[in-house]
Structure 1
Amino acid sequence: MSDALKVTRNGAILEVVLDRPKANAIDLQTSRAMGEVFRDFRDDPDLRVAIITGGGEKFFCAGWDLKAAADGDAVDGDYGVGGFGGLQEMRAMNKPVIAAINGICCGGGLELALSADILIAADHASFALPEIRSGTVADAASVKLPKRIPYHIAMEMLLTGRWIDAEEAARWGMINRIVPAASLMDEVRQTAELLASGPPLVYAAIKEIVREAEAMTFQDAMNRITQRQFGTVDHLYASEDQLEGARAFAEKRDPVWKGR
């Protein structure tokens, strides 16, 4: 485990704090450590939800560590399993991940946040893709951001490096909501607890369908679902939890999800 990461298990919830003062930037070593953490989260049946946030109150994450790059970290080096920050390319990440954006979220930090499923930001958070100013490309953001917010807004951010505040980010749908900084982690943990109480096999099916359907026509995706060609859907339809959901509804009680 890297000293840059503080990892805490609270029941079915995993909290990961990226704590590399001053800017919570990510070097190759930290990226590899994050990949190991999120791989273990993905593979642990007792964990259902993860939270990623930054240490301190100023930075969520400033992205790629340019100082480390100047000392020899190659921009195309070994980021480890899951790619940069451990989330961007993590295969079969079929559990919910929440980003608690506690401050400046820029460059690779914004790309890391976009790898989460739910983004909740403190009211002082700000966002940018300043790679253009250092002569490089925000590669993951170039793929993801135009699909998340209006094309012309995404392109302006990519082409100019313009900063936006939390209010504007929420207006364009980049984040789910804004909360006062002092309430951020309480809000995020409440959301995590809500998700942790839900049906994990359904979450897995939702995430696989959303991920795989992005490159399919609507009808092709529906055919794969109805024919149980998604592994998570097939698992869900044959599971105890599928029966439990129906029984709990018929018996007018809360379901007890076992993830099997």
Structure 2
Amino acid sequence: MNVLVTRDKETGVAVVTLNRPERLNAVDLATAAQLADTWHELRADDTVRSVVVTGAGERAFCTGIDRSAQVPQPSSPYSTDDPLLTIGPKANDLWKPVVAAVRGMACGGAFYLLGEAEFVIAADDATFFDPHTTYGMVSAYESMYLALRMPHGEAARLALMGTAERMSARRAYEIGFVSEVTVPGGELSAAVRCAETIASFPTEAVQGTVRSVWAAKEATLTQAHSRAPAFVALGNLPPERQTELFATRRSKDFRTR
């Protein structure tokens, strides 16, 4: 399975793990479908009151969409088919709190998950970057999530600098994108501890609070996302040119630093 789920019925915490470490936990079409199914299953499981999402291995939380998952796009700039739009908990109407535990690289499509988590706990070796511009692609949905989670200038820098620069866990903590930094390997246990605490509180109050906090930015995000397809269609290089750039740079851009 590309997505592993463990449930602790005593604490009410489920841990969702992206399980493709050999692919740096990149999301292919099968993984995207499994994530959507997972959020729906957890939504209906009353024994689960809080969730942690993480990635398998030490190298990456998630490196976005797997290049094997390229989806043909309609020619109209008013339409887009993005398989990552449905990988997040909020996109699947899950209002149970989700805490993200990040180690290693988190980039590109990872922000669909991080953007819909309540907060992020990161290992000191975690790094955040957005490779889109490097490969001739518009960072639309990803940068919209970032712009709601960090100061405008920091979101713009992360989105525009591509693979040339990575935001450290410490810097992400300083600007409020990450809420806690741990030693490498300690991020998951820290996230589970937080999730256990939240799960111990009355469920209705917790989910109402999650919904309330999300409501403060939901309208802005919905409006921004409605314009994203046009930005992507107008700004992206042709797919063959993207593939060429990716092939020549990938080994350097996605090495562990």
User: Shorter-chain TM-score category?
Assistant: 0.7 to 0.9
Of residues 2, 5, 27, the one that matches 1:4 is 2
Q: 1:79 and 2:80 equivalent?
A: no
Q: Within 2, Cα distance between the matches of 1:60 and 1:178? A: 15
The match for 1:231 is: none
Q: 1:19 and 2:19 equivalent?
A: yes
Q: Within 1, Cα distance between the matches of 2:112 and 2:51? A: 17
CA contact (8 A) 2:17 2:54 kept: yes
Q: Which amino acid aligns with 2:92?
A: M
Deviations 1:13-37 (A, max 9, x none): 1111101123100011110110000
The match for 2:247 is: none
The match for 1:58 is: 59
The match for 1:116 is: 117
Q: 1:140 and 2:141 equivalent?
A: yes
Deviations 1:23-55 (A, max 9, x none): 100011110110000111122222101111001
1:66-215 equivalence runs, <5 A: 66-69=67-70, 73-74=71-72, 76-77=80-81, 79=83, 83-87=85-89, 89-91=91-93, 93-161=94-162, 162-214=165-217
TM score, norm. by length of structure 2: 0.75
Deviations 1:203-232 (A, max 9, x none): 11112222234367xxxxxxxxxxxxxxxx
Deviations 1:60-117 (A, max 9, x none): 0000111332xxx44754738xx342435222x2210011102100000133112111
CA distance 1:138–1:89, shift in 2 (3 Å): farther
| Count of paired positions | 209
CA contact (8 A) 2:88 2:112 kept: no
CA contact (8 A) 1:28 1:77 kept: no
CA contact (8 A) 2:89 2:95 kept: no
CA distance 1:64–1:133, shift in 2 (3 Å): same
CA contact (8 A) 1:126 1:166 kept: yes
CA distance 1:193–1:215, shift in 2 (3 Å): closer
CA contact (8 A) 1:36 1:86 kept: no
The match for 1:222 is: none
Q: Which amino acid aligns with 2:132?
A: E
Q: Within 1, Cα distance between the matches of 2:155 and 2:178? A: 14
Unaligned runs of 5+ in 2: 74-79, 220-257
SS at match of 2:181: strand
CA contact (8 A) 1:51 1:97 kept: yes
Q: Which amino acid aligns with 1:87?
A: P
Q: Which amino acid aligns with 1:7?
A: V
TM score, norm. by length of structure 1: 0.74
